[in-house]
Chains A and B, each alone.
Chain A
Amino acid sequence: MACSRLQAFVALLVAAAVTSQLAAVEPIRLTHDGRMKFTPVFINGGEDLVFVEIQDPRMYRLQRLQLADGEVEPVHKTVSAQEFDPAYSADGKYYAYLKAVGTLSVGMVISSRKQTDEVQLAPGQGFSGYRNPAISPDSSLVLFSFAEGGRQDIFSVDIKGKNRTALTGGKGINLWPNFSADGRQVAFCSTRDGNFELYLMKPDGSEITRITENPFQDLRPRFSPDGKRLAFVSHRDGNFEIYLVNTDGSNLQRVTEHEERDDYPAWDPDGKSLVIVSEREGEHDLYRLEVPPYQASGPGVPASRP
């Protein structure tokens, strides 16, 4: 088993070296404070970014970056606990995020952007927490990940936090749901077949289809604005790098190549670039990365392997 994994590791290093030749555009640094950051999301039609930052050893905080002037300010002026995993609706009306409410206890907040209509979903008894909210483009559904009974499923609720429905069938750990722009598909990751791989499903949990197959982790899929491909993170070359893959599993391309970490891709609404979190010289900042245009087929290797 260990030997076959080593062979797979070497083979994937070679494959990754081939695919890495496809993109060589130097990323542009957008923030400069170097603090650890996670999960950027575009809002306001691409004018701003919201991301999570470790402000001190005790605090995750939601921050908003205005791309026009580089100004960074907190989303919430005052906070008393860690806030993270932000999600925004495409129509700009709603947002959701997670908030620590006790010892290893994390609730979810769904709110109108004007904060006039807020729902707080309490975690379960004891140690418990939500993860990864995602709001459908028409603001009718909020998807999220939640662990119970030894599994971590993706669930949906309506925008009022009602009508909770399990979507992913109770197999493995399921994380990072992400809607396509037309709302017809959801990308997510699951360990149902062993380790984290990329999958697609309908918003009602039907038609689950596997996209990648690799002995190392494939994480955090994000639909391109045209819905034709996914940006994601993979550990297949030995550290965290950003990849693109068509939604049919073809045309796998690595778009970052650095010995330090590249993670948390977010598509610019124009579909031409990603904003990612990169670690460079030990500092974590947001970078903008141009990506090659979509190709129905290309020199990349298939994401699915026999």
Chain B
Amino acid sequence: MSQLGEAAVQDRNGVSPRAKSVLFVFLWGAPSHLDTCDPKPDAPAEYRGPFASIPTRTPGVHFTEMLPRMASRSDRYTLLRNHVTSAPGHPDAGTVALSGFEENPKPVQPNFGSIVAKHRGSTGRLPAFMSIANGTVMDGARKIEAYGGGTLGSVYDPFMVGCSERGEVNIPALKLLEDINPLRISDRRQLQQKLESVPRALDAQDVASWNRTSRQAYQLLTDPRSRDAFDLTLESPATRARYGRSVFGQSALLSRRLVEAGVPYIQLNYARHVEAITPGFEFGWDTHIYNFELLQDQHCPILDRAFTALLDDLYERGLMDDTLVICMGEFGRTPKINARAARDHWPQCYYSIWAGAGIEPGRVIGMSDARGEHPISDPVTPLMVGTTIAELAGVDTQARAEMRVLQEGSVIDGLL
């Protein structure tokens, strides 16, 4: 596939950023750090949980037995085990995780992706910030405030794309007008005429919405090369199988295609909802009940397969040199097992995985204490995550100051 946005990926001095694309894998709902990438096998039973720890490829570093493939690829990424965040609940912690700042005081700050999108401008036929989920990410009925442009404006909201476990891509913006589907209209002029007629049928508010999202959706899909980025049937059956036939697996494959197409920032969400099991909601990582069963039955096998397939695929295609991959939740989970034999929210300690964009892999930066309750090295905050992402994506100190974003943020020490 051609690099649709390649020509525009330079800063004002003509220098290419280390990360032409950023792929933020958001484990919404927050996985338990002790049960995944920061096990504490020597902690008391009421802390360590039932999972054994296994060695990774990084000497002295262990994961739980639930992530054997990720353990075997630890030489392909760097692990940070010293994260902290300021918010204990999902919606606010989601906003902090994606913007670096809490919801209040207002105004809500922009998503890291919106910052990168504004800096890069229009990079080609595809939107500069895309979010993969079956709708806006939510906690119950409440969306994450920092899902989009914030102070930069709704024009920098993400372009939403969903994906089924069969790899069928769903673009919500196309649902506005069911009788106009570019996948069924081969004559571009005919489609263009129909698009021109749409605003006359809408009121003023809908016209604004139409111009911002739906028009963009229809127009990008009139271009065969853009449309191909969403077509997972162009992948071999072996490649599609490699990621697993889960929503997250096929979404991860879609994210790789979007990286390949030159999209500057992609937020790949594990699930739309945080709730682990609730009527009408997708299965997120919020395991206040059934923590060990859900990790074992569903979440860890799905993540282990899809995330390693994604990393392997990006490496094999030579894309990792200028692609930054980050994988993390919005906080950790209680080191001490709760009353329901599961784990609650724990903003005081969690982890992230960083790969590509020239980051030296196979390292662990930062440590948590013996029970995984607190970092014992300088903590890393979401603002530092966003600042580091921005720096690697070419949004330098001056550009951030001009946009008035990520103010007082610093780059994660020792990562770059």
Contacts and interface: CB of A to CB of B under 8 A. Distances in A.
B10 interface: no
B272 to A, nearest CB: 7
A194 B53 CA distance: 13
Contact of A282 (B249, B286, B298): B249
Interface stretch (A143-151, A154-162, A203-211): A143-151
A36 interface: yes
A95 B68 CA distance: 36
B272 A196 contact: no
B289 A5 contact: no
A15 interface: no
Indicate the member of A6, A58, A149 with the most B CB atoms within 10 Å. A58
B277 A106 contact: yes
A235 B341 contact: no
A275 to B, nearest CB: 17
A260 to B, nearest CB: 9
A103 B242 CA distance: 33
Contact of B288 (A35, A36, A60, A104): A104
Contacts of B293: 131, 175
A103 B140 contact: yes
Interface string A263-306: 00000000000000001011110000000000000000000000
Contacts of B249: 282
A19 interface: no
B339 A150 contact: yes
A173 B277 contact: no
B116 to A, nearest CB: 27
Interface in A204-222: 215-217, 219
B279 A101 contact: yes
Interface string A176-215: 0000000000000001001110000000000000000001
A151 B341 CA distance: 6
Nearest to A191: B50
Contacts of B278: 100, 102-105
Contacts of B55: 2, 6, 9
A103 B290 contact: no
Interface string A132-176: 000000000000000111111000000000000000000011010
Given A127-B340, A147-B289, A282 B243 contact: yes
A127 B65 contact: no
A215 B41 CA distance: 11
B245 A35 contact: yes
A127 B339 CA distance: 10
A175 B290 CA distance: 11
B51 A128 contact: no
A151 B337 CA distance: 9
Nearest to B248: A57
Indicate the member of A172, A191, A261, A282 with the most B CB atoms within 10 Å. A282
Interface string A66-98: 000000000000001110000000000000000
Interface in A25-41: 34-36, 38
B241 A147 contact: no
B241 A282 contact: yes
Contact of B338 (A106, A150, A191, A215): A150
Contacts of A127: 288-289, 340
B340 A57 contact: no
Interface string B220-258: 000000000000000001101111111101000000000
Given A129-B277, A150-B337, A104 B289 contact: yes
A191 B45 CA distance: 9
Question: In which size bucket is the chain B interface?
Answer: 35 or more
A20 interface: no
Contact of A195 (B51, B246, B298): B51
A56 B247 CA distance: 9
A58 B289 contact: no
Contacts of A100: 277-279
Nearest to A85: B293
B281 interface: yes
Contacts of A149: 339
Interface residues of A, number: 55
A219 B296 contact: yes
A46 interface: no
A58 B282 contact: yes
Contacts of A112: none
B180 to A, nearest CB: 26
B242 A282 contact: yes
B134 interface: yes
Contacts of B238: 281
Interface in B50-76: 50-55, 60, 62, 65, 68
Nearest to B249: A282
A173 B52 contact: no
A136 to B, nearest CB: 23
Nearest to A98: B277
Nearest to A39: B297
Nearest to B68: A238
Contacts of B298: 36
A106 B68 contact: no
B340 A128 contact: yes
A106 B53 CA distance: 30
Nearest to B42: A1
A156 B179 CA distance: 56
Contacts of B341: 147, 150-152, 173
B296 A217 contact: yes
A120 interface: no
Contacts of A235: 52, 65
A129 B290 contact: yes
Nearest to B305: A282
B275 interface: yes
B285 interface: no
Interface of B: 41-42, 45-46, 50-55, 60, 62, 65, 68, 134, 140, 164-165, 237-238, 240-247, 249, 271-272, 275-283, 286, 288-290, 292-293, 296-298, 301, 305, 337-342
Ordered nearest first, which 6 A-B pairs have the shortest CB separation? A81-B279, A152-B341, A147-B341, A281-B241, A282-B241, A282-B244
Given A36-B298, A216-B65, A261-B301, 8 more contacts: A5-B41, A128-B340, A150-B337, A173-B292, A173-B341, A215-B52, A219-B296, A235-B52
23 contacts: A2-B60, A5-B54, A36-B246, A57-B247, A57-B271, A58-B282, A81-B279, A82-B279, A100-B277, A127-B288, A147-B339, A150-B339, A152-B340, A195-B50, A215-B52, A217-B52, A219-B296, A239-B68, A279-B301, A281-B238, A282-B240, A283-B241, A283-B245
